[in-house]
A and B are shown apart, each in its own frame.
Chain A
Amino acid sequence: MEFIWRVNYFSALRVESLEGEFIVFQREAGKTHFLNEIGLKILSILDQSPATLDSLCRELSEYFTLPPDTHFSAQINRTLQRYEALGLVSRVKENA
């Protein structure tokens, strides 16, 4: 089944840039996360509008001018699942 991913309370995230890397404070959880540029871009894309894995990957590869391939998509999928366990994103069923 395809899921649509959305970000939880992006406005409650504190994002600071330190020389090109990003530290993110998740207020609700009280946790600090260390993200690279792609990691943060995933969150900001999903904040603009919830997306499926495929459309998220398309947008990312356009932005970073990376060739879209299955390896990249698997990596993004793993990142999303990790974000989900951390409570940064959640999934909704496509037709919901």
Chain B
Amino acid sequence: MKKTIGVIFGGQSAEHEVSIITAHVPIIQSLLALDKYEVIPIYIAKDGSWYSDQQLNKLSFFQSPGWEENLKKFKKLQVSLNNGFEIIWPGLRSIAKKIDIVFPAMHGTNGEDGSLMGLLRMANVPFVGCDVAASAVAMDKALTKQVLESQGILVTPYVWFTASEWEKSKDELLTDIKKLSWPLFIKPVHLGSSIGISKVKNETELINGIEVALHYDDKVLVEDGVQNLIEVTLPLMGNEDIRVAEVERPLNKTEFFDFSDKYLSGGTKSEGANSLYSEIPANIDDNLINQVKELGKRTFKILGCTGIVRVDFLINKSSGKIYVNEVNTLPGSLYHHNWRKAGVSNIELVENLVILAEQHFTARQRLTFSFQSDILKKVSGSKMVK
């Protein structure tokens, strides 16, 4: 009997639609072509309802007019985490399906930030990608910088603050921010796919930019803009042994690489996330390429990543300094366009990630999480106090 693999996507996140694309291209399409697993699509709607139906295995379902209405015809799922991950279609004759492996395809908050991973850990089910800690740290751009900086990795100078801090100490924060080198980048710390990010050149733009970022998140990062910039990104895959894809250079169409550049401009339907916006491999010095790959691997290790990540870098062309900019624990569409250039087909990519998930799970199973204790016997109400 085939193992069941549940692909969880959608979710209550600004990147809901991107998640639908990632889930289908390449994950579900490759799993179906691979024909080794029973593929169970698990879709979390924007209102938080969970659904599963074979029709959701097709991207075309989400492209058809009135699909959100059609979705409501499906039964809402219940989930059991009782030593295994089980989805249940409730009713007079409720049907339960045990999921053997989970493939999270959720971007952004409530999915990529470690919360889903925590749920899956509780269920004791193998899942693809980074575990709780790595996901949570990588999701917070400020925290990522703090962790990497502490391990000697170069990051651009930055200031971070919460919404309440901004309200209370705006002037002090502005004083700190002005010590950075303009132009500056403002980022909501928890969002991916470049949502809510702005590049600012003066104080007016800065304040507007912060307001925009605070609209999306309650924690904001302001950082230096690197001069003579070369922006590159590198997908990596593995657990202990790390495999790198090609160093990719986004070809900036706008002043910086935003959501629409990544997902909406150009590209072909079959490629999922846009594949025409970048140069693969990046046409930069071989020495830089090698350094980027090494830095990528170190970052992967420091954050304790597993499965797949994408590390973004900023390079100062003149000084040759390479800064780690951010880490994405679920690259859009798994950056399969890059892996294909690196000689890894979608099927190989997806299958490898499933194997890595099982290996990571097996390794964790070897750990001891409980031990025999007689502490309970020693407790006898108020006598214990004696």
Do A and B assemble together?
A: no
User: Which residues of A line the B interface, CB within 8 A?
Assistant: none
User: Which residues of B line the A interface, CB within 8 A?
Assistant: none
